[in-house]
Amino acid sequence: MSYPEKTENDVLIITANGEIDLENSGGLREQIASALDANTAVSIIMSDVAYIDSSGVAALIESKQRAGEGGKEFKIIKPSEAVLSVIKLAKLDSFFDIEN
């Protein structure tokens, strides 16, 4: 599964939706990795994500780490309550750059 992408102000923006789980988190991980390879800044809009499991959170963690290692920027934009509650439960809200 590939999520829609657009570029605004030199930032590649991915718009995720639905559920991010073991079945599709690998595709998200690959999409973000490719985006980070080709861009200096990547943001993911997560307002329409109804569910995220630990594999989805792992994909986001790996993306943030990959961005940091490459001197690039990775942001989570408008996380849904479902996403934000999992991030807070895992105490990752200070790890991620989250923009409401």
Q: What is the rounded CA–CA span in Å between residue 81 and residue 98?
A: 13
pLDDT at 19: 98
Kindly report the pTM of this predicted structure: 0.95
Domain with residue 35: its CATH number is: 3.30.750.24
pLDDT of residue 2: 84
> Residue 55 corresponds to which tokens in the numbers above?
């594999």
Number of structural domains (the chain) is: 1
Residue with tokens 């409401």: 100
Q: Give dist(CA 26, CA 23) in Å, integer.
A: 7
Length of the chain: 100
Identify any residues that bridge with 49 across adjacent strands, giving them in sequence order: 18
Query: Which of the residues in the chain have pLDDT under 70?
Result: 1
Boundaries of domain holding 27 = 5-99
Contact 35, 5 (CB under 8 A): yes
